[in-house]
Structure 1
Amino acid sequence: MGVFLTNNLKVYNDYVDDYTSYELVPQERNILVKFKERWGKTRMLDIGVGTGRTSFTFSAIVNDYTGIDYSHEMIKKCKTVIEENESVRFDLQDATDLSQYIDNKFDFILFSMNGLCSVGHDDRVKILSEVYKVISDDGFFFFSTHSLHTFPNHFPFKIKLPKFNKRQPLHWAYQWWKLLLRRFRIQRLYKGVDTNEICGKPWAILATGDHDFKIQIYHIKPDYQVKQLEDSGFEVVSVYDERGNERDPLKENINEYMYFLCKKNKV
């Protein structure tokens, strides 16, 4: 496990109680409908399950469900929420090594909530290689990732402060203070940094405020993500933005996080 991966792991173990949502995001709901005829026969691998947000839904509808995470605290919490049985299991597992599943080809592999962005470049490529090894020939890989085009949005003049909420003034004040503090911290962190140079790269590892600036996140340009997948043996089927709308990663500078649906390239 690389230093980058290890450092982020420590933070995730400390912040396990912050992950309390069990709702699917729009892109995941789209996939739920898209493959509704397949779920009952699907063997699924859910990577980076955290405390079981996606597990809650998918473990109930697929034929066989395996959820993994490299955080022992996340997996422990997950097992208290969802009971394991002969068709539902949770493993403490680093996605850079999926060799234990090499004989269990999965029909659908999910890596949600930008989990693939919690690792460095070499580990990211390694994970894509490992996923390719354990996915069935007709299987699908669905994952989300941060776009490098979002980088300018993190700067002070780009951050929108929340409008006053007279029904919840204390909550509004708290959110306002958090964003204001974030403005100053980002301004200090990137003082003197050539942001144009960063935006000119195909990918970059950045600290943009996640978990109180304690973790660094991998950001990638949409078109380079397509290349990265193709180099790993995948073919992109479709790409969705934050609202679940289909986008073209080769023609659009998508400035929000993206979900990629892909499959093995059989050519």
Structure 2
Amino acid sequence: MALKRETDALNHSCYLGKEVAERWAKKQYVMPEEQAFLNDFGQEIKGAKILDIGIGGGRSTRFLLPLASEYVGVDYSPDMIEIAGACFPGARLEVRDARDLSAYADGEFDFVLFSFNGIDCLAHEGRMQTLKEMYRVLKPGGLFALSSHNRQQPKANPYALKYLYRSKHPGRMWKFILLYLEGIRSWKRTAASAIDCEEYALRHDSGNTFSAPHYYITKSSLIAQVQPLGLELLAIYDTQGRKVTEEAEDSVSSWFHYAFRKAV
């Protein structure tokens, strides 16, 4: 229980606040694995009622809102929702915690998405509750998608010089040095919150400058987590947008994007 509280608190500190929201609002791209998913399932999503979880500054809103007959975007950060609302006036954007989607009815949505490894910011108990909630609000036969970090990837080393960005501009280079040193300090401060167990691992990485551990899991373990809910695996995409199998070894992709269908 103490680890759960610590993991939640560390991740909240990374993703709450106006400055963080402003940074995330600059992310306006569709990633290759998301584009591959849209290529395969975009026609099915068109005209659907969509629940988009963990929207940040509205990155995923940008490409899902035009497809939806009804779109609901949620995030647990009020500042994220505020800044996304300024970008997409009139869109239905709400402050919600993915672990509690009680505001929505059973089977209310045709498509439920938790993108960009957002679910990996939760402790294990919160993750499992979120999966159950996503499943509950999805209609029978509906699409269910999420992305999650790849446990087969080597552990990140905060001392690695690849995390020290370079610039010929002295002022910018000094900022990069400070950021690199802050990553090392953050890792030292929170190293005890990282764990490895049979089902999953909590690991630090550069995604949040080593400030809080993310959830890492193998493809087979993730599929095992959702199978009891009654979800059929449709596809797995790597970070190049290529379809991959559950069995294929991959130590290069930072994460995978998964597509499932709820049983009718």
Q: Same fold (TM over 0.5)?
A: yes
Give the counterpart of 1:102 among 105, 108, 111. Answer: 105
Per-residue deviation, residues 200-255 of structure 1 (Å, max 9, x unmatched): 73311122244333222111122111111112322211111111111112332454
**Structure 2 residue aligned with 1:169:** 168
What does 1:224-235 align with in structure 2 at a 5 Å threshold?
224-235=221-232
Query: Structure 1 pair 174/123, CA: closer, same or farther in 2 (3 Å)?
Result: same
CA distance in 1, matches of 2:174, 2:152: 28
Give the counterpart of 1:16 among 14, 21, 40. Answer: 21
**Structure 2 residue aligned with 1:262:** 260
Confirm whether residue 59 of structure 1 aligns to residue 58 of structure 2. no
CA offset at residue 110 of structure 1? 1.1
Query: Structure 1 pair 247/175, CA: closer, same or farther in 2 (3 Å)?
Result: farther
Q: Which AA in structure 1 matches 2:217?
A: I
Query: Structure 1 pair 151/179, CA: closer, same or farther in 2 (3 Å)?
Result: farther
**Structure 2 residue aligned with 1:201:** 198
**Which deviates the most, 250-259 or 38-47?**
250-259
Does the Cα contact within 8 Å between 2:163 and 2:206 map onto a contact in 1?
no
SS class of match (2:212): coil
Give the counterpart of 1:144 among 131, 139, 147. Answer: 147
**Structure 2 residue aligned with 1:68:** 74
Does the Cα contact within 8 Å between 1:222 and 1:254 map onto a contact in 2?
no
Does the Cα contact within 8 Å between 1:156 and 1:187 map onto a contact in 2?
no
Does the Cα contact within 8 Å between 1:68 and 1:93 map onto a contact in 2?
yes
CA offset at residue 132 of structure 1? 0.9
CA distance in 1, matches of 2:79, 2:116: 18
Query: Structure 1 pair 103/234, CA: closer, same or farther in 2 (3 Å)?
Result: closer
CA offset at residue 26 of structure 1? 0.8
CA distance in 1, matches of 2:255, 2:111: 21
Query: Structure 1 pair 33/178, CA: closer, same or farther in 2 (3 Å)?
Result: farther
CA distance in 1, matches of 2:106, 2:133: 13
Corresponding residue pairs, total: 254
CA distance in 2, matches of 1:190, 1:240: 31
CA distance in 1, matches of 2:115, 2:147: 6
Q: Which runs of 5+ in 2 are unaligned?
A: none
Does the Cα contact within 8 Å between 2:186 and 2:210 map onto a contact in 1?
no
Q: Which AA in structure 1 matches 2:21?
A: V
**Structure 1 residue aligned with 2:237:** 240
Does the Cα contact within 8 Å between 1:229 and 1:236 map onto a contact in 2?
no
Per-residue deviation, residues 103-123 of structure 1 (Å, max 9, x unmatched): 552111111110000101011
Q: Which AA in structure 2 matches 1:106?
A: F
CA distance in 2, matches of 1:60, 1:121: 33
Query: Structure 1 pair 6/180, CA: closer, same or farther in 2 (3 Å)?
Result: closer
SS class of match (2:135): helix
**Which deviates the most, 178-187 or 135-144?**
178-187
Q: Which AA in structure 1 matches 2:208?
A: H
Percent identity over the alignment is 24
TM-score by length of 2: 0.83
CA offset at residue 9 of structure 1? 2.0
Q: Which runs of 5+ in 1 are unaligned?
A: none
Per-residue deviation, residues 127-184 of structure 1 (Å, max 9, x unmatched): 1111111111121111111112224344656x647897xxx62399469747864785
Does the Cα contact within 8 Å between 2:152 and 2:218 map onto a contact in 1?
yes
TM-score by length of 1: 0.82
Q: Which AA in structure 1 matches 2:64?
A: F
